[in-house]
Amino acid sequence: MIKTIYLSRHGQSLNNTKKLIGGNSGLSSDGKQYSYKLHQYFKNNNINVNVITSNLIRTIQTAKYFNETTQFEELNEINSGICDSMTYLEIENKYPEEFNKRKTNKYYYRYPEGESYSDINSRLKKIYNLINDTETDLLIIAHQAVLRVLISNYIYSDIKDIPYLDVSLNTIYKIIIEENSCKLEIINSI
């Protein structure tokens, strides 16, 4: 059976505007506009989807115009442990060794008290199963690192490239899953 999944990052968050990673901030006014436009896109194109989000405020707010949504903590952004809510510059200054270790092997690097990209792939098993078992098309609203891993589960990417895949804000990634192949379309003018 052909199935389509639509993937989107949350709209711009307040932490995005301050260049802070992680945290649990709400949307900026740009982010709120995206949340409206995202819903309009599905409405105007008569696309019916079940909507799932992480359980962080920024994805829940992004889904606000959809009637029914379900939250999964498996879709939460990478847990950056002791580096949560810092800028990359602050991390580089405070934890230079950690910063360099991450640069050298980003997929397997695990933040102290946090996660690696590889850990995200393990916790996404539940979501891969959900996608397999769901008959309807899905809109998944999540986060940069999580969506890099999710997309690479369907569209092959070398492990070392996964943490650098371009997953932008204000963009819908549409994956058409067929019996033996998957196709990716990028929609960035909604």
Active site residues: 9-10, 16, 58, 77, 143
In 10 A of CB 5, how many CB atoms?
A: 22
- Binding status of residue 120 toward ligand F6P by CB under 6 A: no
Strand partners for 81? none
What is the closest distance, in whole angstroms, from the C-beta atom of residue 110 to ligand F6P in the complex? Answer: 12
Binds ligand F6P by CB under 6 A, chosen from 5, 11, 12, 21: 21
Where do we find the tokens 């492990």?
A: 159
Among residues 5, 51, 75, 78, the one that binds ligand F6P under rule CB under 6 A: 78
Q: How far is the CB of 53 from ligand F6P (least distance, A)?
A: 14
- Is residue 77 near ligand F6P by the rule CB under 6 A? yes
The CA distances from residue 97 to 91, 103, 109, 112, in Å, are 10, 10, 12, 12
Q: For residue 173, what are its two tokens?
A: 């990634």
Place of tokens 């940069």: 144
Applying CB under 6 A, the residues found at the interface with ligand F6P are 21-22, 77-78, 80, 143-145, 163
